[in-house]
Amino acid sequence: MTRLRVTAIAVFTALACGLAWLVALPLWSGDGLAEPLAGIILPVMMFTPAIAALVVTVTMRVPARGERLRFLGMWPLRPAKRVIWLMVLGWLAPPLLVALGVLVAAALGFVRLDLTFAAFSATIAGALPEGTPMPPIGLLVISQIVMIPFAALINSVLAFGEELGWRGWLVPALRPLGTWPTLLLSGAIWGLWHSPIILLGYNFGRTDVTGVLFMVGGCVAWGILFGWLRLRSASIWPAVLAHGSLNAAAGLVLLVAASQPDLALAGPLGVAGWIVAAVVIGILALTGQFRQQPELADAPGRLLSTPRASGEPQHSSTP
């Protein structure tokens, strides 16, 4: 088994989380999530894991030079057919899982559905300038749903900043621990990284440790699925698209809720989302999908190896 680079992992985690707090500092010293700069600060914060990954990669040489694009899952994309199909899956599956989560939330009484969309209509009407005619609510709802796949592609640009760190660098760095410890620990770190904004009420409206705990739970659940895409494809790109797609579909429950739901229960990162993710994870586990890791199976020791000495023979491996 490849040696676990504990120091590099600790430095990466400290950098990613520390930079996130630094970027979010204006929110804490200002009006929180209502701060006018929040629309800029939140996207910038999403790139702090990527910065941490690049710093550790360059300064600590983890991975070794010559293996960096492959270690991070950026290149090569082969076999192309497998990577492309998993990219399509990552792009289209999260909205379906979010929709299933809405049904689970309704079945468990976490949210009351209103297919007349009265609450959503009231929200839109309140946001329109006075005197502006209200568009047909059915047309608005359809347009919101139809735009999810396109919004997913746009959101994937920002999601790349996170995924380069979490699934690109951290998952393969933790991989010597084994598949399940890797997925659980990387998901927990991902969730804790959100603390600067979760403690301001982001996502769940909870400004105490319970909000952070719910976020950790959601990130572990979805992180296992994103991590599976990463390990199964040996590529970061399916996870990037899946993350962007999840972000694009996250507000789906608000379209059909009769009133503002408790997103810690009814949201995709809340309990309903955990249940749906757990079912999918169970299916993947029972069908042996977590054991199929082509990159790590074919080259288990090289990606975390120290730089080769001059003159040491080079060996190729198939991804």
Residue 122 domain-assigned (yes or no): yes
Range of the domain at 189: 6-298
Residue 164 domain-assigned (yes or no): yes
**Could you count the other beta carbons within 10 Å of the beta carbon of residue 257?**
22
In this structure, what token pair is assigned to residue 71?
């270690």
Instruction: Give the residue from 245, 269, 43 showing the smallest Cα distance to 151.
Output: 245
Residue 265: what pLDDT? 98
Q: What is the pLDDT of residues 300-317, one digit of tens each?
A: 344 433 333 333 333 333
- Using an 8 Å Cβ cutoff, are 174 and 182 in contact? yes
- Using an 8 Å Cβ cutoff, are 230 and 239 in contact? yes
Report d(CA 103, CA 100) in Å as an integer.
5
Residue 313 domain-assigned (yes or no): no
Residue 131: what pLDDT? 83
User: In which band, very low, low, confident or very high, does the pLDDT at 65 lie, cut at 50, 70 and 90?
Assistant: confident
Report d(CA 92, CA 149) in Å as an integer.
7
Residue 286 confidence (pLDDT) above 80: yes
Report d(CA 303, CA 230) in Å as an integer.
15
Burial class (CB in 10 A: 0-12, 13-18, 19+), 159: buried
In this structure, what token pair is assigned to residue 86?
């998993």
171-185, 240-254, 290-304, 305-319: least confidently modelled range:
305-319
Residue 25 confidence (pLDDT) above 80: yes
In this structure, what token pair is assigned to residue 235?
């590529």
Report d(CA 8, CA 47) in Å as an integer.
19
Residue 234 domain-assigned (yes or no): yes
Residue 305 domain-assigned (yes or no): no
Going by C-beta distance under 8 Å and a sequence separation of 6 or more, which residues neighbour residue 257?
A: 111, 112, 113, 114, 119, 120, 266
Residue 304 domain-assigned (yes or no): no
Distance of CA 273 to the CA centre of its chain: 13
Q: What is the pLDDT of residues 80-95, one digit of tens each?
A: 999 999 999 999 999 9
Structure pTM? 0.91
The number of domains in the chain is 1
Residue 118 confidence (pLDDT) above 80: yes
Residue 79: what pLDDT? 87
Residue 308 domain-assigned (yes or no): no
Residue 67 domain-assigned (yes or no): yes
The rounded percent of the chain whose pLDDT value lies above 90 is: 83
User: In which band, very low, low, confident or very high, does the pLDDT at 127 lie, cut at 50, 70 and 90?
Assistant: confident
Phi, psi of 117 (to 5 degrees): 60, 35
Q: Stretch 119-138: mean pLDDT, rounded?
A: 89
Cα distances (angstroms) measured from residue 174 to each of 9, 68, 189: 8, 16, 12
Report d(CA 286, CA 263) in Å as an integer.
30
Residue 2: what pLDDT? 63
